[in-house]
Structure 1
Amino acid sequence: MFGIGKSIFRRLLFGHMFTMLLGLCVVGFLLSLLTKGYIVDSQKEELLRKAKRVNLTVQTVTVPDDRVKEQLLFFDQTFDARIWLFDRNGKIAATSSKDEVYVGKSVDPSVVRKVLSGEEALLNEPRFEGLKEPMLSVVVPWGKDNEVYGGIVLHASVAGMNETITLMRETILWVTLVGVLLSAVTASYLSWSISRPLRRIDKLALRIGHGDYGERIEIASNDEIGELAATINQMADKLQRTDEDKRKQEQIRQDFLANVSHELRTPLTAMQGFLEALQDDLIDDAAKPKYYDIIYKETLHMNRLVDDIADLIKLENDEIALSRSPVDVRQLFAHIAAMFGPEAAERNTTIEMRTEEGLPDAYADRDRFEQIMKNLVKNAVKFTESGKILLNARAESELLMIQVVDTGIGISPDDQEMIWERFFKVDRGRSKKSSGTGLGLAIVRELVELHGGTITVRSEVGQGTVFEFRLPAAQNAIHEGGRQHVKAI
C-alpha cells in the first residue's frame, strides 16, 4: 500500500513539472518570437527614418555630383549604413564609400516599380546584385513632392541585430531554466503536501484493516483531502464502536447461554433425581404429593424460560403483530395487583394503585400490555422486602404515563445502563431470589417501543426504583379514577 503513495508522489511531481515546463517552454518560445519581431521591426523603422532624412538632403538634386557623394559618405559614417541612389531606370547612380563598384548596376525591377509609384519598401531579404553578406534594406522614393527621380536604398548589416536577438534568447533561456528549477521545487513541495496526508490515510486504513482502531489522522486542511481524512476518522470511530458493541454483545450472549444452561440444568437435574426416587419407590406415599408439586413448579419455570426466549426471538425478527384496542388501565392494574398480591404478602409488601380522574383508556394490545406490567411488577416484588409498590397512571396530552414504583433495594448506576440489553442479568447478589434469565426487561422495552412508546428507569441503591413508560391513549374512552389500596393477603 505504501507503494501507492510513492507512485502518487511521482505522478504528481512529474505531472506538475511537465505542465510547468511545457508552459515555460511555450512562453519562452513566444517571447523569443515576439522579441525577434520587435527588434527587426524597430530596426526597419529606424532605417526608414534615416532614409527619409537622406532624401531631405538630396531631394533637390536630380543627378548626383561630388557634393552629394560627400553627403552620402557622411550619412554612411553617421548611420552605420550603406547608401545607394538609383535613377528611374533602376541604375545605381551613386553610393557611399565602399560601394562604388556597384555604380551602374541595376536593382530589382520590382523595387523600382514600387519606388516610382511612390511606395516605401521594407525588405526582409536583399534584392540587390552584389550583396553577399546578410543585410536589412529599406527603399524610399528619391525626389521632391510628387516628382520621383529614383530611389534611395539603405543597407544595414544584420550582425548587430542578430547579436541582440541571440542575447535576448540566451536571457530567455536562462530565465526559463531558473523557472524550471523553481517549478521543480514548487512541484516537489506540492506533491509532497498532497501525498503525505494520503500516505497517512493509507497507513491508518491498513491499521484499521488489521483491527486497530485507536489511531486518528490530524486534519490540517479543509480541502478534499481533509474531508477524506475526516471520513476515515469517522469510519474508524464507527468501526471501533461497532467492535466494542460486538465484544459486549458476545460477552452478554455467553453470559446468557451460561444462565440458560444453569436455569435448565438445575431443575432438570432435580426432576431427574425426584423421578428416579419415585420410580424406585424410595419416597413414602405421604411425601409423594410434595415432590410431584416440586416437579410441576420446575416444569412451569422451564416453560416460562422457553416462552421468554420465544418472545425475544419474535421481537427480534419483527414477527409480533399487535391487536390494538382500548384497554381500561384501572382494571388492568387491579388484575395485576390481585395476581401478585399473595407473593408480595409473603415479603410483607403492599401493592397500591393510583389513577387520576377521567383517565382515558390505553390504545394497546391488551395481552402485551399485561405482559409489560407483569414483568415490571414481578421485578418490583422480587427486589422489595417490607415495602410498597405503586402502580400509577395519568394522562399526558395524547399519551398515558404509567409508572411502577417500588421501595426496594434499587439498581446501581452501572446496571441502569445495561438492564435494557438483551441477555443482561443484574448482579445475583442483589437479592436472595434474584433468579431469572435477564430477558424480562429487554422484552418490556421491545414491547413498549412496538406500541410507539418509550420507557425509562430512575433508581437509587437502597431507596427504590421507578420504571416509567408511555403508551398512546384511546380517544373517547374515559373512566372514573381514584385510589385503591390492595393489601396482600
Structure 2
Amino acid sequence: MLGMNKSIFRRLLISYMITIVVGIGIVGILMFYFTNSYMTNAKQEELLRQGRTVNANIQDTMFINDEKQEILEFLDHSFDARIWIFNKDGKIIATSTQDEVSIGKSVATSIVERVLRGENVVSRLKFEGLSEPMLSVVVPWGKKDHVYGGIVLHAPLRGLNEIIAKTRETILWATLFGMLFSTAMVSYLSWTISRPLQQIDRAAARMALGNFEERIDISSEDEIGDLAGTINMMAKKLAKIDEERQRIDNIRNDFLANISHELRTPLTTMQGFLEALQDGLIEEEARQKYYDVMYDETTHMNRLVDDLMDLIKLENKEITLSKYHIDPKTILEKAKMKFEREANEKEVELHLMINGPLPKAYTDPVRFEQIINNLLKNAVKFTEQGEITITAEEEEDYLLVTIADSGIGISEMDQELIWERFYKVDRGRSRQNKGTGLGLAIVKKLVELHDGKINVESKIGKGTTFKIWIPSVKG
C-alpha cells in the first residue's frame, strides 16, 4: 500500500501543479494582453482627441507663424506630447520644441496619402534611448475638405512596463502559492483516498482467507464509499454461499453415511446368510425364512438405487413427463389398496375420501402414482395405532390431494429442510424403519415438473398433512 500511496500522491501532485502553472500562465498572458490593449486604446483615444484640439487651434491658416508656434509649445506642455506639423508634401514644417531636429524631414508617403484623404493614422514606435514605447497618431490639418497637411502627436506609454513587471511578479507569487496550496491539497486528498483503500485492501485480504464476516466501515458518499458498500454486499453474499455450502456438505456427508449404512446392513445380512447356506449350516425347513429375508434386503437395495437414479435424472432434467388427462380416483384407490395391509399390521386405519366429482388431472400417471406412493409410504412408516386419510377434491383449476396422518409429526426446523436433495430427517423414527431421505426430494421435483404445488403442515406428536395441487381439466 505504500507504493500505491506514493503513486497516488505523485500523480495528483503532478496533475495539480500542471493545472495551476498552466492556468496561472494563461491568466497572466490574458492579463498582459488586455492590460496592454486597454492602455494602448485609452492612450490612442486621448492622443486623437488632443490632435483634434491642436487642429482646432491652427486650422485657420496654412502657415505656422510665431503665434501658432507658441500655441504648439503650450499644447506640448499641456498634453505632454511632442507635436509635428507637416505639409501636403510630407515635409515637417514645425514642431512643438525649439531644438527639434526633425524639421525638414519627410513623413512616410503612405501616411501622407491617408491623412490627405481625411483619415486618422495610429502607429506604435520605439526610439533608441527611450525605455518606454511611444504611441504616435496623425490627424488631418485643415478645415473640412481643405486639408493643408497633417498633425503628428508622439507620447510615451508611461506605466506599461511597470504594469508588465507587476503582472509578472504577481504571476510568480501566485504560482508559488498555488504550488504550496496544491501540495497541501494533494497530501490531504491522497490521504483521504489511500486510507479507505487500505481498509478495503485489508478487508479483501481477510476475505481471501475465508473470513466473510469482515466488513468495511466507510461512510463516504463517493465512488470509494460505493465500492466499500459493494464489497460488503459481496462479503454478505459469500458468507451466505459459504454457509449454504457447509450445510449442503453436511447434508451430503450425512446422506453418504446413511446410504452406506443402509447398504452395508442388507449386504452384511445377505453375506452371512449365504455363507451359512454354503456351509450347510441351515436346515432344509429353515432355508425358506433365510430366502425371504435375503429377498427383502435385495428389494430394499433396489429401492435405494431406484431413488438415487430418479433423483439424478430429476436434477439433470432428464425425465420427460408423458402427461394426459386421467381419472385420479383410480390411482388413489390403487394406492390405498397397496398400503392397506401394511397399515392394518400397525393398527392404522387408512381412509380415502372423494369430495364431489373430481376433475380430470393433466398428469403423467406413473409419476403421479409415484408421488402418492412416496407420501403414503412415509405416512404409514411414521404412524402407530392411528389413522391416515387421503382426501381428493377440486380447487379452482387444480386437483387437490391431501394426505394427513396422526403420526409423530415433523418439527418446524425440519419442515424447512425436508425438501433438500440429500436431507434425511430423524423424526424420532425407530431403528427398524429404513429410509434414505430421498422420497420427499423426489416428490417435490415431480410436483414442480407437473407445474403443481406442494406444502406441509405438521406438529410434533399431532401428525403431518401434505397437500398437493396438480393442474386439472374440467369436464
Q: TM-score, normalised by structure 1?
A: 0.86
Correspondence for 1:326? 325
**How far off its partner does 1:317 sit?**
1.6
- Give the number of equivalent residue pairs: 475
Please give the secondary structure, in 1, of the residue aligned with 2:152: strand
Contact 2:88 2:116 survives alignment (8 Å): yes
Q: Is structure 2 residue 93 aligned with structure 1 residue 93?
A: yes
Provide the residue aligned with 1:288 in structure 2.
287
CA RMSD of aligned residues (A): 3.1
Alignment of 1:234-249 (within 5 A): 234-249=233-248
Give the distance between the partners of 2:146 and 2:292, measured in 1 at CA.
149
The two structures have a TM-score, normalised by structure 2, of: 0.89
Partner of 1:396: 395
Secondary structure in structure 2 of the residue aligned to 1:286: helix
Match of 1:164 in 2: 163
Aligned-pair distance for 1:378? 0.9
Shift of 1:218: 6.1
CA shift in 2, pair 1:168/1:15, >3 Å: closer
2:425 matched residue in structure 1: 426
Which residue of structure 1 aligns with residue 117 of structure 2? 117
Taking the aligned partners of 1:301 and 1:54, their CA distance within structure 2 comes to 131
Q: Please state if 1:336 is matched with 2:321.
A: no
Contact conserved, 2:85 with 2:94, CA < 8 A, in 1?
Answer: yes
The one-letter code of the counterpart of 2:38 is Y
Return the offset for 1:281.
Answer: 2.5
Q: Does 2:324 match 1:351? A: no
SS where residue 284 of structure 2 aligns? coil
Report if the CA contact (8 A) 2:20-2:179 is conserved.
yes
The change in CA–CA distance for 1:234 and 1:2 in structure 2 (over 3 A counts) is farther
Counterpart CA distance in 2 for 1:459 and 1:58 is 124
The equivalences for 1:23-422 within 5 A come to 23-97=23-97, 99-125=99-125, 134-171=133-170, 174=173, 205-217=204-216, 231-422=230-421
Residue 264 of structure 1, CA deviation = 0.9
1:458 match: 457
**Alpha carbons 2:85, 2:152 under 8 Å: kept:** yes
1:177 Cα deviation after fit = 5.8
Whichever residue aligns with residue 68 of structure 2, its letter is V
Per-residue deviation, 1:424: 0.7
**Which consecutive residues of structure 2, in runs of 5 or more, have no partner in the other structure?**
none
Q: State the secondary structure of the residue aligned to 1:100.
A: coil
Residue 97 of structure 1 and its aligned partner are, at CA, apart by 3.3
Q: Which amino acid aligns with 2:469?
A: R
> Which consecutive unaligned segments of at least 5 residues does structure 1 have?
477-489
Task: Name the aligned partner's letter for residue 281 of structure 1.
Answer: G
- In 1, Cα distance between equivalents of 2:10 and 2:124: 48
Residue identity in the other structure for 1:53: T
The 3 A distance-change label for structure 1 pair 170 and 241 is: same
Counterpart-to-counterpart distance in 1, 2:259 and 2:361:
34
| Cα distance in 2 between the residues matched to 1:170 and 1:46 | 29
Structure 1 residue 434: Cα displacement: 4.0
In structure 2, what is the Cα distance between the partners aligned to 1:165 and 1:458?
93
Partner-residue secondary structure (3-state), 2:142:
strand
Note if contact 1:5-1:199 (Cα within 8 Å) is conserved in structure 2.
no
Distance 1:250 1:388 in 2: 37
Q: Quick check: 1:32–1:172 contact (8 Å CA) kept in 2?
A: no
DSSP-derived class of the 1:45 partner? helix
Q: Residues of 2 paired with 1:184 and 1:359: CA distance?
A: 85
Listed one character per residue, the Cα deviations across residues 4-42 of structure 1 (whole Å, up to 9, x for unaligned) are 686566546644654565445334423432332222122
Spell out, residue by residue over 1:174-230, the C-alpha distance to the aligned partner (whole angstroms, 9 max, x if none).
556656666666677677767766666565555544433333456757776666555
Amino acid of the residue matched to residue 302 of structure 1? M
> Are the aligned partners of 1:5 and 1:198 in contact in 2 as well (CA < 8 Å)?
no
**2: CA distance between counterparts of 1:102 and 1:376?**
128
Q: Distance in 2 between matches of 1:149 and 1:184?
A: 67
2:84 maps to a residue whose letter is: W
SS in structure 1 opposite 2:390? strand
Contact kept in structure 1, 2:266 and 2:297, CA below 8 Å: yes
Secondary structure at the counterpart of residue 97 of structure 1: coil
How far off its partner does 1:411 sit? Answer: 0.6
> Could you say what secondary structure the match of 1:326 adopts?
strand
Q: Could you tell me whether the CA contact under 8 Å between 1:452 and 1:472 is conserved in 2?
A: yes
Alpha-carbon distance between aligned partners in 2 of 1:338 and 1:2, rounded to the nearest angstrom = 79
Moved more, 393-402 or 173-182: 173-182
Instruction: Evaluate the alpha carbon distance shift between residue 470 and residue 7 of structure 1 in structure 2; reply closer, same or farther with a 3 A threshold.
Output: farther
Q: Match of 1:256, as an amino acid?
A: F
Alignment partner of 1:472 is 2:466: no
